[in-house]
A and B are shown apart, each in its own frame.
Chain A
Amino acid sequence: MPSSQCIHSGWRWRTVSYEFGWLTAVGLIRVFVCLIPQADIFQEYIIKEDAVGFQVNLTVLLDCLTIFGGSTVPGVCTALRMCYNGYGYPLTLFLEEGGVVTVCKINTQEPEEPIDFDFCSTNVTNKVILQSDSLKEAFSELDMTSEVLQITMSPSHPYFRLSTFGNSGNAHYDYPKDSDMMELFQCTKIQTNRYKMSLLKPSTKALALSCKVSVRTDSRGFLSLQYLVRNDDGQICFVEYYCCPDEEVEEE
């Protein structure tokens, strides 16, 4: 199941809501991740109530999903069936690989109110869509001694810039708006925001799997990263990261 690869084990709780097929994880209040496998990713998708919500421990869920090893072996498929009988019942996972069936029952909890970062498309100031390849290289080279990653988006030079401030100096990665890696460029005003590197680093897992990423900031400087992940069957999945800014930075 491709979506299991997108779940970062650093998050503690996972809320499952089947209404829109959203799986969300919240960590540290400052970053909000959700994985949206479209309903058609499932071979069977049966839901008997309007909305189903519960909470399970993410580490436990990950351990169960990867009970057969977790790494993909060509030609070998793991089948998964998830069942939930409602309030008070555990989440039951049936996993089958090569004729071996494992049943996992994970205790569920009351879902916490999902933290609403209140990021809506009407507030978006700047938006770019980039092909992931170029960002992958940049993220793999980022100076990890920098506590923050600064993102500058502007209708004029430098257009889209990632900056770090580390022990040996600072570094800037500039993507021009007419780059062929830039699929969409909609920036209305210059904005520079800093985000804690430690909060954004986990997003590189999703970046690694994705083929495109949309980067948006709103008027408050909140960051939205949406990764488009395509699995082996060509089905699409989205992973979203929301991150609040570290501090307000004046325009350069």
Chain B
Amino acid sequence: MQTLFRKNIVDKQNIMDCVSTGGNVKVLAKAIHSLSRVGEELYLEPVEEGLALRSVNSSRSAFACFLLSPLFFQRYQAPSDQSFRCKMPIKSVQAVFKSLASLDRSVEKCRIQLNSEKSRLTITLHCKHGLLKTHNLSYQDCESLQAVFDKGSCANVLQAQPRLMVDTVLHFPPSLEEVNLSVSSDRVWLRNHVEDDADSSRAMMTELCLSSEEFDHFAVGSQTSVTFCLKELRGLLVFAESSGLPVSMYFDEPGSPVILSVTDNVLEANFVLATLSEDSHPKNHVNSKRPDTEQPPDDFMSDDMDSFLIAMETSELPGLSHVPTSPPRPTNNYRKHSFSEEEEEEEEEALAEGPPNKKFCSLLFGSVLPTPSQLPNQTMQSQEVLASDSEDENQTETS
């Protein structure tokens, strides 16, 4: 009797309650596994449109998001004011879904709940033989993690079965970091990216050529070549292969992010990866903030800025219009590439390193956004002398 009574009270106080059953439990687990290839933290946000699971890598050059619609779940209850978002170490969540291979055989139901009283997220797995596994995970509150991207504006769109991409990527060594994708009107080349200053006589070059016929969809607006990180692509392929869903690639010119997407009627996964800018010579990936000498010292003065302003205006993200965002930004050092995130702690960290995006963000939005208060911690604080003298009226000394 007492147990029953307590249960009713708990139900009333559930901020969030999502139940997935059957094969979808494994899909959920695979999505988390896939996100773990991108970043170390899982950002969870239940919204009206579904449960958003996101991750970003430490250098902010890759962002991934899985949106599981309410239809994915047997039961879906999101907080009514859409105010809840949290993050937690992704390893903690992965630990809940161990034994991935046998998950669909052993787990019948998975329930993710948040009770307003505790600061724990509860994931309950109802397994065979009556076994019940309950995990109460601690989390941190956070701001929303978002990247601005617009698939519709990309000139080039390819779609292929995951098997094709997996088989292609298989030819590259696991240690390979960057891969170059080039397209012409009827062909696609995938090559390992070798740094210009590497000793070409000792480097192994691998090149694969695929005909447009191998793709389910092949729309190349203009011949182009983009270079991006392979690790996160592999992360998406892990999921795509198990789901059997085709993978779509959206990309433009070098410097614009490449977007890898897997969708069906109940979920949508987007991996947004930064690409190297066109005439960059990647001499120094880690600390270089200086673009190539041919270009003006600050990237944002280049033509790309217009396309990003357009990207900003045209893209819409659910429920987050109040969050000022910055578009994923190409820099020659794309490892310093950043996505908007207004978490205070991370801003402080990032500012200490002086990431260019924060810098350009303030410069870009300094003129676009009317009130500095929208970016409370950002606007007046980035002061590194990366930019030239042209936009100095808002800058203060580096603190």
In the complex, how many residue pairs between chain A and chain B have their CB atoms under 8 Å apart? 59
Residues of A within 8 Å of B138, CB to CB, are 168-169
Residues of B within 8 Å of A167, CB to CB, are 92
Interface residues of B in 51-103 (CB under 8 A from A): 88-89, 91-92, 95-96, 98-99
Q: Does A140 contact B (CB under 8 A)?
A: yes
| Given A168-B137, A169-B120, also A141-B95 (CB < 8 A) | yes
Stretch at the interface among B126-134, B361-369, B378-386: B126-134
Binary flags per residue of B112-143, CB closer than 8 Å to A gives 1, else 0:
00000000100000000111111111100000
CA distance A176 to B131 in the complex (A): 7
Q: Does A101 contact B (CB under 8 A)?
A: no
Nearest CB in chain B: distance from A197 CB, A: 15
Nearest CB in chain A: distance from B226 CB, A: 37
Nearest CB in chain A: distance from B273 CB, A: 28
Q: Does B395 contact A (CB under 8 A)?
A: no
Q: Specify the chain A residue showing the minimal Cβ separation from B138.
A: A169
Nearest CB in chain B: distance from A191 CB, A: 19
Partner of B99, one of A141, A178, A180, A181: A141
Nearest CB in chain B: distance from A118 CB, A: 33
| Given A141-B98, A141-B99, A168-B91, also A173-B129 (CB < 8 A) | no
Interface residues of A in 137-195 (CB under 8 A from B): 137-138, 140-141, 143, 157, 167-176, 178-181
A174 touches B132 (CB 8 A): yes
Residues of B within 8 Å of A157, CB to CB, are 3
Partner of A171, one of B3, B88, B129, B135: B135
Partner of A179, one of B89, B99, B130: B130
CA distance A149 to B249 in the complex (A): 47
Q: Does B106 contact A (CB under 8 A)?
A: yes
Residues of A within 8 Å of B129, CB to CB, are 134, 179-181
Q: Specify the chain B residue showing the minimal Cβ separation from A156.
A: B3
Residues of A within 8 Å of B130, CB to CB, are 175-176, 178-181
A175 touches B131 (CB 8 A): yes
Residues of A within 8 Å of B96, CB to CB, are 171
Q: Specify the chain B residue showing the minimal Cβ separation from A159.
A: B130
| Given A169-B120, A181-B129, also A174-B134 (CB < 8 A) | yes
| Given A137-B99, A137-B106, A141-B98, also A171-B136 (CB < 8 A) | yes
CA distance A104 to B112 in the complex (A): 58
Interface size class of B (residues with CB under 8 A): 20 to 34
CA distance A176 to B127 in the complex (A): 11
B133 touches A172 (CB 8 A): yes
| Given A157-B3, A174-B131, A175-B131, also A169-B99 (CB < 8 A) | no
B132 touches A168 (CB 8 A): no
Number of A residues, CB within 8 Å of B: 21
Q: Which of A168, A175, A180 has the most CB of B within 10 A?
A: A168
Residues of B within 8 Å of A168, CB to CB, are 88-89, 91-92, 95, 137-138
CA distance A179 to B129 in the complex (A): 5
CA distance A169 to B122 in the complex (A): 10
CA distance A171 to B93 in the complex (A): 12
CA distance A196 to B321 in the complex (A): 51
Interface residues of A in 107-144 (CB under 8 A from B): 134, 137-138, 140-141, 143
Residues of B within 8 Å of A143, CB to CB, are 95
CA distance A170 to B95 in the complex (A): 12
Residues of A within 8 Å of B135, CB to CB, are 169-171
Interface residues of B in 298-351 (CB under 8 A from A): none
Q: Specify the chain A residue showing the minimal Cβ separation from B134.
A: A172
Residues of A within 8 Å of B106, CB to CB, are 137
Residues of A within 8 Å of B132, CB to CB, are 172-174, 176
CA distance A143 to B135 in the complex (A): 10
Q: Specify the chain B residue showing the minimal Cβ separation from A174.
A: B132
Residues of A within 8 Å of B92, CB to CB, are 167-169
Interface residues of B in 252-298 (CB under 8 A from A): none
CA distance A175 to B135 in the complex (A): 15
A171 touches B131 (CB 8 A): no
Residues of B within 8 Å of A137, CB to CB, are 99, 106
Q: Specify the chain A residue showing the minimal Cβ separation from B124.
A: A172
Q: Specify the chain A residue showing the minimal Cβ separation from B120.
A: A169
Q: Specify the chain A residue showing the minimal Cβ separation from B137.
A: A169
| Given A175-B130, A179-B129, also A170-B98 (CB < 8 A) | no
Q: Specify the chain B residue showing the minimal Cβ separation from A176.
A: B130
CA distance A173 to B132 in the complex (A): 6
| Given A141-B95, A141-B98, A141-B99, also A170-B136 (CB < 8 A) | yes
Q: Which of B91, B92, B120, B129 has the most CB of A within 10 A?
A: B129
Residues of A within 8 Å of B88, CB to CB, are 168
CA distance A172 to B129 in the complex (A): 16
CA distance A176 to B132 in the complex (A): 8
| Given A140-B99, A141-B95, A168-B92, also A173-B136 (CB < 8 A) | no
Nearest CB in chain A: distance from B106 CB, A: 7
Residues of B within 8 Å of A170, CB to CB, are 135-136
Residues of A within 8 Å of B91, CB to CB, are 168
Nearest CB in chain A: distance from B33 CB, A: 15
CA distance A181 to B106 in the complex (A): 13
CA distance A169 to B130 in the complex (A): 23
B137 touches A179 (CB 8 A): no
Residues of B within 8 Å of A169, CB to CB, are 92, 120, 135-138
Residues of A within 8 Å of B95, CB to CB, are 141, 143, 168
Known: A171-B136, A173-B133. 8 other contacts (CB 8 A): A137-B99, A138-B131, A141-B99, A169-B135, A170-B135, A173-B131, A181-B129, A181-B130
Which 4 residue pairs across A and B have the least CB separation, nearest first? Answer: A168-B92, A179-B130, A174-B132, A169-B137
Query: What are 13 sample pairs from A and B whose C-beta atoms fall under 8 A apart?
Result: A134-B131, A168-B91, A169-B136, A169-B137, A169-B138, A171-B136, A173-B134, A175-B131, A176-B130, A178-B130, A179-B130, A180-B129, A181-B130
